Structure 1
Amino acid sequence: MKRNRKVKILATLGPASSEEEMIQKLHEAGADLFRINMSHASHEMMRTLIQRIRNVEQRSGRPIGILADLQGPKLRVGKFAAGKVDLVPGQTFTLDNKEEPGDNTRVFLPHPEILEAVQPGHRLLIDDGRLHLRADRTDGKSIVCTVVAGTKISDRKGVSLPDTLLGVGALTEKDRADLDAVLETDEVDWVALSFIQRPEDLSEVRKVSRGRVGLMSKIEKPQAIERIDEIIELSDALMVARGDLGVEMPLEAVPGLQKQLIRACRRAGKPVVVATQMLESMISAPVPTRAEVSDVATAVFEGADAVMLSAESASGEYPVEAVTTMASIASKVERDPHYPGIIYAQRTPPEATGADAISLAAHQIAETLQLSAIVCYTSSGTTGLRAARERPQVPVLALSPVIQTARRLSVVWGLHSVVTSDATDLDDMVNRACRIVAAEGFGKPGDRVIISAGVPLGTPGATNMLRIAYIGSDGLSGV
């Protein structure tokens, strides 16, 4: 299945898209990998969805990535005697450790870590920012606040803390159980970590997973922005989770942060996913708004590796249409005459390594000679990531003998992954590359391709060779 676009589409599965037939339709419409939201999926449902995705993968003959998104620490207030209460800006309202129903003066906060960490002057945002409180006094057992804005609060609403660094890690007991279940399947390619605050939040998952899954850090807290370079270095990929980020930071700051994060990830050679409300209106409408189309287009113009659908594909009325629309927007942007120049202007100089120099040279040669494709042999995925970092306009085929690598690369910009055994010698390497380019529809007899690989063959991290070859009439090398 050949995609005529570079950016990838990550579709969330849910009640509207959990059946195998629908997963098949979403994949055919353009979804390159699928997200399982562990906030809502039981372990049994997760395993069922994985099996259905793998069935679709087998029929399509294309590697499909799977992302398990851990819930992270969900901070919520307790319940009210009347279910909800009305508040007045300027009044005092207290959050405390008393396990009693709340009223219009106080409510139970079942999170001692918040009671201990919040300091006077800190903001507390309730219900996605609809209620804004300012802490006036704290004693470790209660937080006495002033209502700054908002007039209502009800049971179990979420709490955001844009000014507070919590002393707890990003993993809850539920997350640990979910992570164990994910790793037991040995079929999940990425794990997304919610509410990352600091680089140390990655250490526990890294230790438990031992490289069996890629770690994707969701950036949705101001504290993560402050240490973003360290977080990127320790992550395998990033997700710009604009929903919670827009709650804890000024909304007008989010577009700029999105650009900064995409460019920082590209410099580091790490995949980056842009997520949240991209085609929100398509939850209940068959077409998006013009603003949503522009939003998706902006992420594509910026060079994001992937764009994500959440409720649009998980619980919306038009999941297939949402994927089709997103694919259509991406394809149109990538054909825009300004697109290559914008992407090129954002490029990062290569690092002083042989592999980076080889990837840069392959890009330049392919575009100078107008070759049909760049082919890179990659076992660990590193060579594929380096090739994608250059953002070449020429198609890039990543050939790997490791199915897990091919699936993980499904989130990476521009990579068309193919599972194939290791080449036995240089002639086999060239012939195999030419045959696959022709078979996958990226070239025809008489076309030329450029191949990057490592010698000795099969040695991970040893990319040190380039070879230009013609595709012969039999699909093999004409050289």
Structure 2
Amino acid sequence: MKRGRKVKILATLGPASSSEEMIRKLYDAGADVFRINMSHASHDVMRDLVRRIRTVEKKAGRPIGILGDLQGPKLRVGAFEDDAVELEPGQTFTLDGVAKPGDKTRVYLPHPEILEAVQPGHRLLIDDGRLALIAEKADGRSIVTKVVSGTKISSRKGVSLPDTTLGVGALTEKDRKDLDAILKEEIDWVALSFIQRPDDLAEVRKIARGRVGLLSKIEKPQAVERIDEIIELSDAIMVARGDLGVEVPLEAVPGIQKQITRAARRAGKPVVVATQMLESMITAPVPTRAEVSDVATAVFEGADAVMLSAESAAGDYPVEAVATMSRIAEKVERDMNYPGIINAQRPEAEATGSDAISAAARQIAQTLKLSAIVCYTASGTTGLRASRERPSTPVIALSPVIETARRLALVWGLHCVVTDDASDLDDMVDRACRIAFREEFARPGDRVIITAGVPLRTPGATNMLRIAYIGSDGMSGI
């Protein structure tokens, strides 16, 4: 299926969208990649969803990406004797390691790593920031805080620590089990939650050994401070605005979104913008005007993908949400201001042959008004380089490796096609022309530009450009 846009749509599956029929409807409406949230999905549910997605993929004849999203460390307070208590701003409240029900003065915190790491002056935000505390004393066994704002705290509410770097890694025992299960399935990406530092990626990369792409979710201020290092060690980045908006001031989130998006674009790494993009469509068939503008901003910034969470997983209008997001993206990409904004942010080509070839292909295609850029990519690197240029010309990524094509389904502007390796240069050109014609990107008499590596089947050796005509039969002409 040929999409009418370059930005990709990532749709979360859940109770409202777990059947094969609904997955097909979401794909037809515009979903390019499906997210399985391991916070809610058991291993059996995950395996069933993967099987259904792959069935849809086979019927559609197009590579579809799958993202497995690990839960990460969920930090929560313990229980209260009466389930909830009312506090007063200015009062003292203690979090400690004593495993008994809480009251108006204290509560159990079953996370010794927090008790050991918090220092006086650090903030503790409870229940998505509805209750704000500030540490006055901390001795490694308890934290004496003052209530800054909010009045209510109830059992097992989440704890956010915007000022504290914890000494534990991003993987919990549940995450390790989930990751093992994910690696046994046909899943293309794994998302890592609550990344704090570049080192958090090391364990996952060691376990995965290249079998999945690593997507780092940026939702903590500590990660924002080291974003360039994290991007360098990641295969993709997600601006996870929900938890990020709890740990940093809400008014700072739009600027951080732009900062991360632009940093990822400079590095040539896919970047996803997520959380509450069409939140009102959980219960309403149309979004608010502000939500439309929010999606449009991400598209104007050149994000690789925009994501739906509860809208497609548990909402009343999952198909409509995907279709609406697709229409917004298509309209933005046809806006007369869009090319100028995208071009103004284009990074300089890196000093490699692949980058130089990709930059030249974009410029030639634009100057000669060619119908498509066709790039051969086995590992996916050439496809990423072509996307980094953000060409206005459509890009067809040809790969003999189905796993590569599925992973590239997340990447801006790439129309991925699985095809056999070319046997020689003539076959390479004929194959590129034939697929461009078949996929309706070019008609007889049109020209395309082809990038590839010579000798053929040499990974990372993109070093050739070839302009070819589409003949009357869809094969290459003169």
**TM-score when normalising by structure 2:** 1.00
1:184 deviates by 1.3
**Matched AA of 1:401:** P
Listed one character per residue, the Cα deviations across residues 431-470 of structure 1 (whole Å, up to 9, x for unaligned) are: 0000000000101100000000000001110000000000
**Shift of residue 40, structure 1, vs aligned partner:** 0.2
Letter in 2 for 1:379: A
Distance 1:454 1:321 in 2: 42
Whether 2:101 is the aligned partner of 1:92: answer no
> Distance between the aligned counterparts of 1:194 and 1:352, measured in 2?
33
Q: How big is the shift at 1:226?
A: 1.1
Once the two structures are superposed, what CA deviation does each residue of 1:279-298 show, in whole Å capped at 9, x if it has no partner?
Answer: 00000000000000000000
Aligned to 2:454: 455
1:410 maps to: 409
* 1:130 equivalent in structure 2: 130
Find out whether 1:269 has 2:268 as its counterpart: yes
1:426 and 1:95 mapped to 2: Cα distance? 69
Report the residue type matching 1:317 in the other structure: D
1:90 deviates by: 0.3
Q: How does 1:82-161 map to 2 (within 5 A)?
A: 82-161=82-161
Listed one character per residue, the Cα deviations across residues 161-219 of structure 1 (whole Å, up to 9, x for unaligned) are: 0000000000000000000000012x000000000000000000000000000000000
Structure 2 equivalent of residue 17 of structure 1: 17
One-letter amino acid matched to 1:232: I
Give the counterpart letter for 2:104 in structure 1: N
* AA of the residue aligned to 1:450: I
- Counterpart CA distance in 1 for 2:149 and 2:240 is 25
SS at match of 2:397: strand
Q: Deviations over 1:297-353 (max 9, x none)?
A: 000000000000000000000000000000000000000011001000001010111
Question: What is the CA-CA distance between 1:258 and the residue it aligns to?
Answer: 0.5
2: CA distance between counterparts of 1:411 and 1:335?
21
SS in 2 for 1:367: helix
Report sequence identity in percent.
Answer: 80
Cα distance in 2 for partners of 1:263, 1:294 equals 19
Separation of aligned partners in 1, 2:210 and 2:407: 12
Report the equivalent of 1:189.
188
Q: How far apart are 1:2 and its partner, in Å?
A: 0.5
User: Which residue of structure 1 aligns with residue 432 of structure 2?
Assistant: 433
1:284 maps to amino acid: T
Aligned equivalents of 2:258, 2:113: Cα separation in 1: 33
* Structure 1 residue 139: Cα displacement: 1.0
The equivalent of 1:79 in structure 2 is: 79
| Structure 2 partner of 1:351 | 350
Q: Helix, strand or coil: the match of 1:199?
A: coil
Give the structure 2 partner of residue 249 of structure 1: 248
Query: How many angstroms apart in 1 are the aligned matches of 2:351 and 2:8?
Result: 29
Query: Which residue of the partner structure matches residue 336 of structure 1?
Result: 335
Q: Tell me the distance in 1 between the aligned counterparts of 2:138 and 2:178.
A: 34
Distance 2:92 2:280 in 1: 37
State the alpha-carbon separation in 2 of the partners of residues 197 and 352 from structure 1.
Answer: 31
Alignment map for 1:360-375 (pairs within 5 Å): 360-375=359-374
Number of residues paired by the alignment? Answer: 478
CA distance in 2, matches of 1:26, 1:178: 25
Partner SS for 1:349: coil
CA apart distance, 1:18: 0.4
Residue 309 (1) aligns with residue 308 (2): yes
1:211 aligned residue: 210
Task: Let me know the Cα RMSD of the aligned residues.
Answer: 0.4
The amino acid across from 2:231 in the alignment is I
Rounded Cα–Cα distance in structure 2 between residues aligned with 1:257 and 1:97: 35
Aligned-partner Cα distance in 2 for 1:357–1:182:
36
State the distance in 1 between where 2:458 and 2:443 align.
30
Deviation at 1:390, TM superposition (A): 0.3
**What is aligned with 2:178?**
178
